[in-house]
Structure 1
């Protein structure tokens, strides 16, 4: 079934690598016009811009640190030049991982992880609210670890758990405008060979899944497009877990 994404204006944060890049390219292949951002990796940004140009015209890859209010607002403006057409889909994908036992978890590392996942989503979504078209879709990227917990990752687990509450509360605020807000929670995703883990760890995690394989960025992108599209038009406030059945 057609998801009705052709011609839509889509804003994806952190869209030049991993899940973000797969999502950006999937929207472009579906006929949407995409604006995305990166913080510092110019090479990845250029590669993504080239890939988008090969698919169609009109896409943008913008440099922005969306943990800063001014840059988040500028990104939103880039997605609707001249204050023109509204934004039909917002994907809050920016986030970083982190690992440290609580006794060694300093405030700077806590802030780094919480700012990237939670503060960035707050700043971009707040800036985008007036620009969102009626009936728009907001899709947040969380993690399945939010409901399971992970040792040595209190800050990361807290950040991803916060996105569940963010999603549930916001869907009730914007529902009267027909705007839907949902969350996609991937399991461990192979954004680099072996997900950067030792082979024995990778084997153990894969063995825990019902499907017997690790998650790929394209698996997550498919869930995002479903929640952004017409076939999920009565789905809001949901947390869609994409972890292969762990």
Structure 2
């Protein structure tokens, strides 16, 4: 991130764990002013706050259920209160959940849980924050590379992330006249914890399928987000960047 972008005003949703946490910390190290949202895990929020305080970051956290309109509006009020109307430079839609269920056993409740977190939240948050976006702002959502390939036992998850490709491309065209860029980062299997929480044999197998011979790290994804948020990506919009090690 350039020095001119160091004071960016940034919101990261679902920012207390995994990719969201790494992204929040990366922006903090670059000197951004931060607002980080979280859902229910207050302990994770406290742990992140301690890390940000140790960095001397300018930050705040807000709790909100972003799968609901009420939660999205709570977040919008927090953004306006912290950065002012039209004062948000970067929106990172990171909130998301995983799901592993055979299609013939997929329940309505599980379908809604995954779609609400991964897709509907992006719609609700982004729409609620349209007035808060500064001219030339950057919207970056976190998708998944499996959206472009499909994954067994994850039809609902794949669907929820694939929808973000179209969302990104279409919204980029609507917001382009304001100079607002909209992009998507699509990670592969990422080690949000050692082995990505996978059995060691499966983690090794997946790492072996990548061109680089390892699973992704949250910091790898955060680097792509910072690129899309910065001046170097000033002519990049409507695109999906895969961060999957060449799997």
Same-fold status (TM-score > 0.5): yes
Q: Which 5+ residue runs of structure 2 have no aligned equivalent?
A: none
Measured in 2, the distance between the counterparts of 1:80 and 1:130 equals: 9
Partner Cα distance (1:32, 1:79) in 2: 14
**Aligned-partner SS, 1:14:** coil
Task: Tell me how far apart the structure 2 counterparts of residues 90 and 53 of structure 1 sit (CA, whole Å).
Answer: 21
1:2 is displaced (CA, Å) by 2.1
Structure 1: unaligned runs, 5 residues or longer: none
For residues 138 and 49 of structure 2, the distance between their equivalents in structure 1, rounded to whole angstroms, comes to 24
Residue 228, structure 1, aligned to residue 234, structure 2 = no
Match for residue 15 of structure 2? 15
Distance 2:167 2:207 in 1: 30
Equivalent residue number for residue 176 of structure 2: 175
Q: TM-score, normalised by structure 2?
A: 0.97
Structure 2 distance, partners of 1:147, 1:32, is 32
3-state SS of paired residue (1:80): helix
Counterpart CA distance in 2 for 1:105 and 1:233 is: 41
Shift in Å at residue 70 of structure 1? 1.3
RMSD after superposition = 1.2
State the Cα distance separating 1:185 from its structure 2 match. Answer: 0.2
Task: Name the residue aligned to 2:51.
Answer: 51
8 Å contact kept, 1:4–1:229: no
Kindly state the Cα deviation for residue 85 of structure 1 after the two structures are TM-superposed.
Answer: 5.5
8 Å contact from structure 1 (residues 11, 35) kept in 2: yes
| Map of 1:121 onto structure 2 | 122
TM-score (norm 1): 0.97
Distance 1:126 1:102 in 2: 31
Which residue in the other structure is 2:67 paired with? 67
